[in-house]
Amino acid sequence: MSIVSKKELRTSIASRLSQHLELETLDEKPYIETLGDRLASSGVSRRSFMKYCMGLSAMMAIPVSLMPKLVEAALLSPLTSVVYLSFQECTGCLESLVNVFPNTQFKTDSIENILLTALSLDYSETLMAPSGTQAEKSRADAIAKKNYILVVDGAMPDDKGGAGFFIQSGKTGLQLLKAAATNAAVVVSVGTCASFGGLPAAKGPNGKSPTGAISIKAALTSFGGTYATKKVINVSGCPPIAEVIAGTLVYWILNKKAPELDSILRPKMFYGETVHEECYRKEFFEHGQFVESFDDAGARRGFCLFNMGCKGPITHNACTTLKWNQGTGFPMEAGHGCLGCSEPGFWDKEAISGQGVGFYKPLDINTIDD
């Protein structure tokens, strides 16, 4: 073993130090949080995220063999920015979504919830802490970053030449939508109001909506140019099922493109079938066994609710497959027919069983106990 003298050692250290000092300093790149980072810090393993995506693959019509690569790509991607705008709405859609969140972030095993919380929600009037000019700045900053998902709930009112029904910070709804849609990668219309006009588009006494409400797609089309061709996904429902909203966003995060849509722009994976097709009362429908009044013997035996105005046979939604409230049930299980909430014009649409225009056959006053 060779012995190194103190002098040699000092010379060697001095030389290494000078080499280090001559090295170029590394660029200080800003840290960009990825989806993988966020899930890891939330205690969600890569394995459980993969398992969740594999479970969705059949519904999303993605070959299982492709899923691992898509998941890896998604985990390495920066968090997807979301700008959330609200127009003529009741906040029920956002309520549906946040009600499935845990009270304390991430203390849940539902990955839909974690994913939604793990999105970078850069602007939402209802959920964000800043207000006033700070909030306006947040929206402008998010729009400047580009390629965000623009989520919109609520129908768009006619701006009546600039003095319309929706004014925020001196701008009409149409102006706000146009500015926010400019740099959006995709527009997701959440709820039947944003998708088709919904309640605000219901006919008033003169046969017209008092606010001239139109869907977000119709508003974008009215702008023309690239706005008219902007990719729009309608996630209808009054409100939509939280997992349907989440599944649509997850599909975009994984694929950077929209899922296959039906003729009115709804993801076929969730709206491909009517609620009637999977309803457990369908056997009674096929045997002509119907409830005729909410308190009759047929109601007690669980007969079909078609004659009570159920619109299940013409309503496309995932209520009977995904169910509601973390998969615990759906309206027909609770004894009430489908109102057709995910279809265009549902407020004004006539029940197919002939009870006239409106929601459902009302309860007879005599059936209500004192």
Site for ligand SF4, rule CB under 6 A: 237, 275-276, 279, 281-282, 285, 304-306, 310, 312-313, 315, 317, 319, 330-332, 337-342
Of 221 and 353, the one with the shorter C-beta distance to ligand SF4 is 353
Of 256 and 282, the one with the shorter C-beta distance to ligand SF4 is 282
Q: Which residue is nearest to ligand SF4 (CB)?
A: 312
Of 172 and 315, the one with the shorter C-beta distance to ligand SF4 is 315
Q: Hey, what are 92's tokens?
A: 């029920």
Q: Please state the closest distance from residue 106 (CB atom) to ligand SF4, in A.
A: 28
Q: Please state the closest distance from residue 309 (CB atom) to ligand SF4, in A.
A: 9
Q: Please state the closest distance from residue 92 (CB atom) to ligand SF4, in A.
A: 11
Of 74 and 279, the one with the shorter C-beta distance to ligand SF4 is 279
Of 37 and 273, the one with the shorter C-beta distance to ligand SF4 is 273
Q: Please state the closest distance from residue 356 (CB atom) to ligand SF4, in A.
A: 17
Of 33 and 283, the one with the shorter C-beta distance to ligand SF4 is 283
Q: Please state the closest distance from residue 330 (CB atom) to ligand SF4, in A.
A: 6
Q: Hey, what are 306's tokens?
A: 């078609």
Q: Please state the closest distance from residue 288 (CB atom) to ligand SF4, in A.
A: 11
Of 173 and 340, the one with the shorter C-beta distance to ligand SF4 is 340
Q: Please state the closest distance from residue 123 (CB atom) to ligand SF4, in A.
A: 28
Q: Please state the closest distance from residue 152 (CB atom) to ligand SF4, in A.
A: 20
Q: How far apart are CA 352 and CA 22, in angstroms?
A: 81
Q: Three-state secondary structure along the chain?
A: CCCCCHHHHHHHHHHHHHHHHHCCCCCCCCCCCEHHHHHHHCCCCHHHHHHHHHHHHHHHCCCHHHHHHHHHHHHHCECCEEEEEECECCCHHHHHHHHCCCCCCCCCCCHHHHHHHHCEEEEECCCCCCCHHHHHHHHHHHHHHCCCEEEEECEECCCHHHCCCCEECCEEHHHHHHHHHCCCCEEEEECHHHHHCCHHHCCCCCCCCCCCCECHHHHHHHHCHHHHCCCEEEECCCCCCHHHHHHHHHHHHHHCCCCCECCCCCEHHHHCCEHHHHCCCHHHHHCCCECCCCCCHHHHCCCECHHHCCCHHHCECCCCCCCECCCCECHHHHCCCCCCCCCCCCCCCECCCCCCECCCCCCCHHHCCC
Of 241 and 254, the one with the shorter C-beta distance to ligand SF4 is 241
Of 83 and 94, the one with the shorter C-beta distance to ligand SF4 is 94
Of 185 and 322, the one with the shorter C-beta distance to ligand SF4 is 322
Q: Please state the closest distance from residue 333 (CB atom) to ligand SF4, in A.
A: 10
Vertex 244: Cα angle to 360 and 100 (nearest 5): 90
Backbone phi, then psi, for 113, in 5-degree steps?
A: -65, -45
Q: Please state the closest distance from residue 251 (CB atom) to ligand SF4, in A.
A: 20
Q: Hey, what are 13's tokens?
A: 């250290």
Q: How far apart are CA 243 and CA 324, in angstroms?
A: 9
Vertex 149: Cα angle to 264 and 342 (nearest 5): 30
Assess contact for 286 and 238: CB atoms under 8 A.
no
